[in-house]
Amino acid sequence: MARLNTADHDTIIRVAGLRNAFGEQVVHEGLDLDVKRGEIIGVVGGSGTGKSVLMRSIIGLQPPQAGEIEVFGESMVGLEEYEAKQVRKRWGVLFQGGALFSTLTVAENVQVPIREYYPEVDGQLLDEIAAYKVAMSGLSPEAGPKYPSELSGGMRKRAGLARALSLDPQLLFLDEPTAGLDPIGAAAFDELIKSLQRTLGLTVFLITHDLDTLYAICDRVAVIADKHVIAVGTIPELLALDHPWIQEYFNGPRGRAAADATKRAAAGETGK
Amino acid sequence: MNAPADFQFDQQVLRFQGELTLARIGDLSRRLSALEGVPKTIDLSDVDRIDTVGAWLVHRIARDHDVQVTGADEDVCTLLEQIAAADKPVKIRPDSSPPFIRVLREIGDATSAAAHSLTGLVGFFGATLIATWGLITHPRRFRYNAMARQFEVVGVKALAIIGLMSFLIGIVIAQQGAVQLRQFGAEVFAVNLIGRITLRELGVLMTAIMVAGRSGSAFAAQLGSMKLAEEIDAMRTIGVSPMEALILPRVLATVILMPLLGFYAAVVAIIGGGIFCWVDLDIPPITYIQRIREVVPMTDLWVGLIKAPVFGMLIAMCGCYQGMQVEGNAEQVGLRTTASVVQAIFLVIVLDAVFAVFFSSIGWL
Domains (ranges, CATH) in chain A? 1-90+170-177+184-272 (3.40.50.300), 98-168 (no CATH)
DSSP B70-93: ES--HHHHHHHHHHHHT-----SS
Q: Domain check: are B67 and B157 in the same one? A: no
> Is the CB of B76 less than 8 angstroms away from the CB of A145?
no
Residue B111 lies in a domain: no
- Do the domain assignments include residue B156? yes
Distance in angstroms (rounded) separating the CA atoms of residues B334 and B341: 11
Identify the domain boundary among B85, B116, B149.
B85
Whether residues B154 and B62 share a domain: the answer is no
Let me know: does B268 contact B169? Beta carbons within 8 Å.
no
Tens-digit pLDDT profile for residues B269-312: 999 999 999 999 999 999 999 999 999 999 999 999 999 999 99
**B222 to chain A, minimum CA–CA distance in Å?**
19
Q: Is A107 in Cβ contact with B93 (below 8 Å)?
A: yes
- Looking at the structure, tell me whether residues B166 and B315 fall in a common domain: yes
pLDDT at position A1 is 38
Q: Which residue among A105, A141, A201 sits closest to B88, beta carbon to beta carbon? A: A141
In the predicted model, is pLDDT for residue B210 greater than 90? Answer: yes
- Calculate how close chain B gets to A80, using CA atoms only, in Å: 21
Q: Is residue B93 part of a domain?
A: no
Of A5, A134, A201, the CB nearest to B90: A134
Q: CB distance from B96 to chain A under 8 Å?
A: no
Contact, B163 vs B264, CB < 8 A? yes
Q: Indicate the pTM of the whole model.
A: 0.71
Subunit contact A2:B25, Cβ cutoff 8 A: no
Indicate whether B138 and B51 sit together in one domain: no
CA of B122 vs chain A CAs: smallest distance (Å): 28
**Cβ contact A141–B76 (<8 Å):** no
Give whole-number Cα distances, A21 to A109, A268, B164, B308, in Å.
Answer: 33, 47, 42, 50
In a domain, B154, yes or no: yes
Best of B43, B92, B326 to disrupt the A interface by mutation (most A CBs within 10 Å)?
B92
Residues B280 and B192 in one domain: yes
Could you tell me which residues come within 8 angstroms of residue B240 by beta carbon, excluding any fewer than 6 positions away?
none
| For B327, nearest residue in chain A (alpha carbons) | A149
Maximum CA extent, chain B: 106
B153 and B215 in contact (C-beta within 8 Å)?
A: yes
B25 and B53 Cβ atoms separated by less than 8 Å = yes
Comparing CB atoms, the residue among B21, B73, B331 nearest residue A168 is: B21
Segment B22-34, tens digit of pLDDT? 888 878 888 888 8
Interface test with A, best of B6, B15, B22, B333 (most A CBs within 10 A): B22
- Residues of chain B with Cβ-Cβ distance to A119 below 8 Å are none
Please report residues of B whose CB lies closer than 8 A to that of A132.
52, 56, 83, 86-88, 90
Task: Say if B96 falls within a structural domain.
Answer: no
Give Cα B187 to chain centroid, integer Å: 43
Residues of A with CB under 8 A from a CB of B: 1-6, 89, 102-103, 105, 107-108, 111, 114, 118, 120-122, 124-125, 127-136, 141, 143-145, 147-149, 165, 167-168, 195, 198-201
C-alpha–C-alpha distance, residues B314 and B320, integer Å: 10
Distance CA A246, CA B49 (A): 41
Nearest CB to A1; choose among B23, B26, B45 = B45
CATH number of the domain bearing residue B61 = 3.30.750.24
pLDDT for residue B322: 95
- Contact check, Cβ <8 Å, A131/B90: yes
Q: Is the pLDDT of residue B190 over 70?
A: yes
Interchain contact B76–A (C-beta under 8 A):
yes
In terms of C-beta density within 10 A (0-12 exposed, 13-18 middle, 19 or more buried), how is residue A155 classed? buried
Q: Compute the Cα dihedral for B138, B144, B146, B151 and give only its sign.
A: positive
Contact B49 A5 (CB under 8 A): yes
In tens, the pLDDT along B152-182 reads 999 999 999 999 999 999 999 999 999 999 9
How many beta-carbon contacts under 8 Å exist across A and B? Answer: 129
Say how far apart CA B224 and CA B219 lie, in whole Å: 8
Q: Could you tell me if B230 lies within 8 Å of chain A, comparing CB atoms?
A: no
Number of domains in chain B: 2
Residue A89: list chain B partners with CB under 8 A: 23
Cβ of A131 and B20 within 8 Å?
no
Question: Could A141 and B91 be called an inter-chain contact, meaning their C-beta atoms sit closer than 8 Å?
Answer: yes
User: How many angstroms separate the CA atoms of B209 and B308, rounded?
Assistant: 11
Q: What is the DSSP letter of B201?
A: I
Q: Could you give the CA distance from residue B278 to residue B270 in angstroms, rounded to a whole number? A: 12
Residue A56 CB: number of other CB atoms within 10 A? 19
Residue B183 has a pLDDT of 94
Q: Of A160, A161, A172, give the one whose Cα is nearest residue A102.
A: A160
Interface confidence (ipTM) of the complex = 0.77
Do B256 and B314 lie in one domain? The reply is: yes
- pLDDT(B59) > 50: yes
| Shortest Cα–Cα distance, B212 to chain A (Å) | 27
**Residue B328 confidence (pLDDT) above 80:** no
Same domain, B245 and B335: yes
- Nearest chain B Cα distance for residue A131, angstroms: 5
From first to last of its 272 residues, chain A has per-residue pLDDT tens of 344 444 445 888 989 888 888 888 888 888 889 998 889 999 998 888 888 889 988 888 888 888 888 888 888 887 788 888 888 888 899 988 888 888 889 999 999 999 888 888 888 888 999 998 998 888 888 888 988 888 888 888 889 999 998 888 889 999 988 887 888 888 888 888 888 888 878 899 999 888 888 888 899 999 998 888 888 988 888 888 888 888 888 888 887 788 888 778 777 766 54
Structural contact between residues A203 and A153, judged by C-beta atoms closer than 8 angstroms: no
Amino acid present at A53: V
Q: Which residue of A has its CA nearest to B53?
A: A129
- Residue B325 within any structural domain of the chain: yes
Pick among A86, A168, A197 to test the B interface (most B CBs inside 10 A): A168
Residue B107, in any domain of the structure: no
The answer on B205 and B62 residing in a single domain is: no
3-state secondary structure of B7: strand
Tell me whether residues A136 and B52 touch, CB distance under 8 A.
yes
Let me know: does B351 contact B314? Beta carbons within 8 Å: yes
**DSSP code for B319:** H
Task: Examine the domain organization and report whether B76 and B221 are in the same domain.
Answer: no
pLDDT in the model for residue A270:
60
Helix (H, G, I), strand (E, B) or coil at B15: strand
Instruction: Tell me what pLDDT residue B289 has.
Output: 95
- pLDDT at position A3, please? 42
Has residue B90 been placed in a domain? no
Average pLDDT score over residue span B174-191 = 93
Under 8 Å between Cβ of A15 and A33: yes
Same domain, B57 and B131: no
Both B206 and B293 in one domain: the answer is yes
Q: How far apart are CA B258 and CA B265, in angstroms?
A: 10
Based on the domain organization, do B74 and B184 belong to the same domain? no
B2–chain A Cβ distance below 8 A for any pair: no
| CA pair distance B210, B225, nearest whole angstrom | 22
Which residues constitute the domain of residue B53? 6-85
